[in-house]
Structure 1
Amino acid sequence: MQLFTLWKCIFGPKLHQTYPFAVSSPATRADRQPDHIYVKNIAEMISDRVLFMLRMFIEILRTVWPLYLLYSYYRGTLTFANSVSFVRVASFFIIVPIYFMILRGIGRFVNPVYTKFLNDFSEIKYDSTKKARQKFLAKYDFSLSHWQPDYRVESYSIRKLPSISTTKTDFTNQTEVTLIEQVFHYPFLLLGYVCVNVFGRRLMFPGSLEILRFMQYRALLDGRSNLIVSYHAKRRILRTADGNNIDTIFVDARSITGRQTLVITCEGNAGFYEVGSMMTPIEAGFSVLGWNRPGFGESSGYPGALSEVNAIDAVIRYAIEELHFPINDIVVFAWSIGGYAANWAAVNYPNIRGLVLDAIFDDVLPLAQRRMPTFISKFVEKTIRNYLNLNNIQLIKRYNGPFYLVRRTFDEMMNLIPAKVSTNCANEILFSILPHRYPFIYNDAQMLTLMKRYICLKKLKKKKLLDQYCSDTDALKRQCERYRLEHPVRSYPCNFGENFSIDERQSFAIYLVNQYLVDFDAQHCTPLPVTLFHLPTRCV
């Protein structure tokens, strides 16, 4: 019996904390470690540190191995004698983890807090009712790699990426303009695949890095404690159609505020639901469902375009089937790179109530090229388009529902030129979407120029232009309301403004911008204030 318990301690889940009855004050957290945080003994602490360092080494090795292989080849060190040395080193990295896993198991075995947790965890296997599982997750915070999913999406429901608007031949012709580029098309694709899987994915989604999770470990624990203790949040694991486990948390405000709307949040490339954008809709009184993308936090898998869309698909299915929210009462609130998952959800679930898109980009390609040397920009384009093609404009054009953009005027990430709001990526979304939705308003170069000029102006100059062209906003609002009554089914492109005069079109060219754009004088990572969060409504 003791040996069996030791065996379970060796391979059991990592315990983080037992949730307290109340969240500790900041002063208490600064003075000493709160009582609810699991305290490891010296054996478990040392073992965890060593195993963490080994995981870090493997992460680095996975990144640099192609370069090391090329270096060894050119140095002529790929010999039989060196391969024997490599086997010895590999054996070392197999034996050392085994030793420290056993040592960690012994440390856990003599720790009464862990053995109590392990006994409770074992009982769940024999009493796996939904109520018992909910009670256990509300008591313990632990590694969820050992936890069976609470909700599953069958593998036959696996989602695919949206197809690009051009044919493969057209796409090749667009990216290979010279004979040499066409000849090297497939070798570059292979090289791009290697680059994406070796370091590109990690650069685009740094939140999946082991070192970042380690640095934010305590913040994530405190964030989960706050949600579960203060807001009675319920934590669940969802199994996606492509086999990843997604860590989710749900705050139910229906019985408290009476609001029946659910807000699903989509975080940024280094964001987690524990420390991300959930608090804004929570403080606004909405029910909120947060989730960590694959490879983030306790979610399994690797981040990427395909895993992203299958994850948000599972989250929405769970919200509808298990949490019992009608699809037309679901709003998706996305920040930064989370906009791609949100826009995909809107296209594939077109009856959602709307989108709130905060600090998102139009297309990831300009941002990627900006951070890479100029001489490889063509290679970056080919790689992005084939493997990490996060194109939000392409998706939003397929969505007919309401949305609005939050543009951060001092956004150091989305402003292609620092502190210059005219280069913000959100501008390109409006430049494309407004003429697409309202072709009779933006039907000539004059209207397009006026719209672009207004979008790119700073606050004071925008107000002057608004006063010049939209002196009676109430009248413009009434015209929009009349059109909505006459056309209850929303569909774009629409014929709004078909018989308008030039003056009317000028007024609406500016008025419509304000219905889709909200400016926020802040940087990229500043939490969105509640005053700027509202349910999106149909403009026209």
Structure 2
Amino acid sequence: MKNQLIFFWRCIFGPKLYQTYPSAIPPTIPSASRNDQQPAHLYMKNTAETLSDNVFFALKISIGILKVTWPLCLIYCYRKGLLTYENGIMTLRIIGCIAIISAYFMVLRGIGRFVNPSYKIFIEEFYKVKHGSTKEARQHFLSKFDFSLSHWKPDYVVESSFIRKLPMISTTKSDLINRTESTLLERLFHYPSLLLGYVCVNVFGRRLMFPGSLQLLRQMMERPLLDGRTTLIVRNRAKRYLLRTADGNNIDTVFIDRRDSNQTHNGHTLVVTCEGNAGFYEMGCMSTPIEAGYSVLGWNRPGFGESSGHPGTVSEINSIDAVMRYAIEELHFLVDDIVIFAWSIGGYSACWTAVNYQDIRGLVLDAVFDDVLPLAQRQMPAATSKFVEKTIRYYLDLNNVQLLKLYNGPFYLIRRTQDEIISLIPGRIETNRGNELLFDILHYRYPYIYNDDQTLTLLRRYICSNNIQKIALFEQYCSNHRELQLRTDEYRMENPVTSYPSKFGENFSLLERQRFAIYFIDQHLVDFDSQHCTPLPQTYFHIPSQSV
């Protein structure tokens, strides 16, 4: 009897089971009939567990809406005179009723699981493996069951003493104040505006910037995420690990090891991927380096998928730091065998990693912007421009270009020519913020090449040109590109330690500077004729090489 009660208790508080991985990838089910033909490997809930999970999901959504709207609710109640003692008591009673209902459905869910043979098998093995098992046993269990990782012990822990803090890199505080607080009245409201900005960021700003953390979106994408994990675990023999960051978040990661593979020569290079603001490793940019035959380490940022916490600048850098530490210390990759591959907003964590791990083999940026501020201001009324700038700079300062200036290694940018997300005018290539990233970095790295108005104009003209115009300009200035390559090779041999700004081109003529101006752009920019969310073909992915 005692054992049965313990088992029932575990069923009540145990993790959610999603599926038992099949031995092979099942055949694709047409989308029209997918809801009626659930694959056998997915966990079949009974009515009691399904009803309970729906109640808890509705409760989570309600709490999420309340978190977003509580300031408006508070103002409304104050204006209507509803903030009274009697209403306070009534609110406590409602909360008590919700707690009782929640407890009832927790017990009901436990009963549903207790009588479900599939869950009983899972929970028995779960508690056998959870404590005191070997790494091999844990990996075997993770390769057999797909479940909520909220109850899982981390495989790797970064000590809190290694927590990363966020410097203000875009500007100094004094310059920011001078730009955003030009009048005495604005300066008097400095701290109130910071408080309001903090509230806005935590109430809705962070959710708008990282929509993948929204509970509703995760629920809608549950099936594609399960299918993606199944493909990674079953077809690609991926291993799943849970990492604890220095700031206390648990990061869900997946690793595909191809170092011993006979089917590829790229397996000894590890590609660490950084996903977009609604991307997950299950269905994001991991597929590109996987198809190219590299070893790949993917991760979901805090609040995404099975990772805990909330997305943000500080949690982002501590997460990628934990991923890099794990790759180096536990997976035993050398830093110079690691390539960082980022898509969209993942460029921020990628650029931060490049700055703090300077010896990485290279950085590949796909559809990455220079600075989030212009994109944020585009979405807000013009009258709030100064407030948006101050809020972004203090709380969500995703300034990739300033980080990239601190990186001395090789990189290249993949630009989506029809990008509708990071272009100020959707689909217009000349308004793509990737242009500004490349313009600023090349100007910073090679000041003797891009040191006059004519060359800078040529630089911007080439960057903003379509493919036909670019080919014509390249033929005009770089027809003998082998000669240009030889000259960069000679400079690199004479200056083996790379640092920027570079002195390359110090004594060049105007024509020579213009030739290299075009040549360097061609070395750092690859155009992909697509929109923002189109999967990147593997042909566009390669290891970047250092120019000079």
Q: Normalising by the residue count of structure 1, what TM-score does the alignment of the two structures yield?
A: 0.98
In 2, are the aligned partners of 1:208 and 1:296 still within 8 Å (CA)?
Answer: yes
State the SS of the aligned residue for 1:26.
Answer: coil
How many residue pairs were aligned?
A: 540
Using the alignment, how far apart are the partners of 2:254 and 2:468 within structure 1?
41
Q: Which residue of 1 aligns with 2:57?
A: 52
Once the two structures are superposed, the pairs formed by residues 96-245 of structure 1 within 5 Å of their partners are 96-164=101-169, 166-245=171-250
Q: Which residue of 1 aligns with 2:9?
A: 7
Using the alignment, how far apart are the partners of 1:201 and 1:466 within structure 2?
42
Tell me which of 409, 412, 432 is aligned to 1:404: 412
Using the alignment, how far apart are the partners of 2:233 and 2:170 within structure 1?
44
Using the alignment, how far apart are the partners of 2:106 and 2:137 within structure 1?
30
Offset of residue 28 of structure 1: 7.3
Using the alignment, how far apart are the partners of 1:377 and 1:505 within structure 2?
38
Tell me which of 324, 328, 335 is aligned to 1:320: 328
Label 1:22 to 1:183 Cα distance change in 2 as closer, same or farther (>3 A).
same
Using the alignment, how far apart are the partners of 1:127 and 1:389 within structure 2?
42
Q: What are the Cα deviations for residues 495-526 of structure 1, in whole angstroms up to 9, with x where unaligned?
A: 11112111111101111101111111100000
Which stretch has the larger CA shift, 469-478 or 322-331? 469-478
2:21 is equivalent to residue 19 of structure 1:
yes
Tell me which of 20, 44, 53 is aligned to 1:39: 44
Tell me which of 243, 253, 259 is aligned to 1:248: 253
Gaps of 5+ in 2: none
Offset of residue 395 of structure 1: 0.1
2:84 is equivalent to residue 79 of structure 1:
yes
Using the alignment, how far apart are the partners of 1:37 and 1:165 within structure 2?
47
Letter matched to residue 298 of structure 1: E
Using the alignment, how far apart are the partners of 1:27 and 1:269 within structure 2?
28
* Misfit runs of 4+, over 6 Å: none
2:476 is equivalent to residue 474 of structure 1:
no
Using the alignment, how far apart are the partners of 1:471 and 1:136 within structure 2?
58
Using the alignment, how far apart are the partners of 1:383 and 1:168 within structure 2?
12
2:268 is equivalent to residue 268 of structure 1:
no
Q: Which residue of 1 aligns with 2:341?
A: 333
2:432 is equivalent to residue 442 of structure 1:
no
Offset of residue 169 of structure 1: 2.2
Using the alignment, how far apart are the partners of 1:465 and 1:54 within structure 2?
59
2:399 is equivalent to residue 394 of structure 1:
no
Offset of residue 311 of structure 1: 0.1
State the SS of the aligned residue for 2:260.
Answer: helix
State the SS of the aligned residue for 2:360.
Answer: coil
Using the alignment, how far apart are the partners of 2:513 and 2:105 within structure 1?
72
Q: Which residue of 1 aligns with 2:494?
A: 486
Letter matched to residue 390 of structure 1: L
Gaps of 5+ in 1: none
Q: Normalising by the residue count of structure 2, what TM-score does the alignment of the two structures yield?
A: 0.97
Indicate the percent of aligned positions where both proteins have the same amino acid.
64
2:357 is equivalent to residue 355 of structure 1:
no
Letter matched to residue 5 of structure 2: L
Q: What are the Cα deviations for residues 97-139 of structure 1, in whole angstroms up to 9, with x where unaligned?
A: 1111110000000001101101001111344211111111110
Offset of residue 166 of structure 1: 4.1
Q: Which residue of 2 aligns with 1:343?
A: 351
Using the alignment, how far apart are the partners of 1:103 and 1:284 within structure 2?
48
Using the alignment, how far apart are the partners of 2:541 and 2:173 within structure 1?
40
In 2, are the aligned partners of 1:237 and 1:247 still within 8 Å (CA)?
Answer: yes
In 1, are the aligned partners of 2:176 and 2:390 still within 8 Å (CA)?
Answer: no
Offset of residue 168 of structure 1: 2.4
State the SS of the aligned residue for 1:518.
Answer: strand
Q: Which residue of 2 aligns with 1:89?
A: 94
**Aligned-CA RMSD value:** 1.1
Q: Which residue of 1 aligns with 2:307?
A: 299
Using the alignment, how far apart are the partners of 2:30 and 2:508 within structure 1?
64
Using the alignment, how far apart are the partners of 2:30 and 2:350 within structure 1?
38
Using the alignment, how far apart are the partners of 2:65 and 2:420 within structure 1?
28
Label 1:167 to 1:126 Cα distance change in 2 as closer, same or farther (>3 A).
closer
Offset of residue 177 of structure 1: 1.3
Q: Which residue of 1 aligns with 2:513?
A: 505
Using the alignment, how far apart are the partners of 1:3 and 1:518 within structure 2?
62
Label 1:166 to 1:417 Cα distance change in 2 as closer, same or farther (>3 A).
closer
Offset of residue 218 of structure 1: 0.4
Letter matched to residue 260 of structure 2: S
Offset of residue 8 of structure 1: 0.5
Q: Which residue of 2 aligns with 1:68?
A: 73
Q: Which residue of 2 aligns with 1:419?
A: 427
Q: Which residue of 1 aligns with 2:541?
A: 533
In 2, are the aligned partners of 1:246 and 1:311 still within 8 Å (CA)?
Answer: yes
Letter matched to residue 289 of structure 1: L
State the SS of the aligned residue for 2:75.
Answer: helix
Letter matched to residue 443 of structure 1: N
Letter matched to residue 33 of structure 1: Q
Which stretch has the larger CA shift, 483-492 or 209-218? 483-492
State the SS of the aligned residue for 2:176.
Answer: helix
